[in-house]
Amino acid sequence: MVRIVRAIALSFATLPLAACMTTPAEQPVTVTGQITYRERIALPPTAQVEITLADVSLMDAPAKTIAQQRFTADGRQVPFAFSLTVDQRPLDPRHSYAVSARITDASGRLMFITDTRNSVAFDGRRAIDMGMLVLVKTN
């Protein structure tokens, strides 16, 4: 009888510890990479850089932003590294996700943008490297 009571007490004592453990789906994922463009054009110091991870599943609706990084060039030039941290819990495995990037001048006029789909597969990895994303010049 004493053994049964001890076993039950031990199982109740370890229950809070089990609740604190995170499953792989609860751990954040980091999506990293770099952006660049082919033209040999220097960016103005006030250029704004924006990298976005979005749910692009719906064809007739705007993409839903999942994570975003924005910064000013401050005189730096491409390539720019980026890192987006994503909570996996709200992600739907049936949906499609993609990274896009854009560079605008201080007034908001678009200078460079990604023109291809850069899909992200959330397949259980905790770090996803997108490599180099190449932007194209706008007119």
Dump pLDDT digits (tens) for 75-98. 999 999 999 999 998 899 999 999
* pLDDT score of 74 more than 60: yes
Mean pLDDT, the chain, as a whole number?
Answer: 89
Phi-psi map region of 16: left, alpha, beta (phi>0 left; psi -120 to 50 alpha): alpha
Burial label, 32 (beta-carbon count in 10 A; 0-12, 13-18, 19+): middle
Report residue 129 CA to chain centroid gap: 10
Which H helix or E strand runs over 2? helix 2-20
Whether pTM exceeds 0.75:
yes
Alpha carbon distance 25, 125 (integer Å): 10
Q: Give 64-67 contacts, CB < 8 A, sequence gap 24+.
A: 66/90, 66/91, 66/97, 67/31
Alpha carbon distance 120, 127 (integer Å): 11
Is the separation of the CB atoms in 111 and 47 below 8 Å?
yes
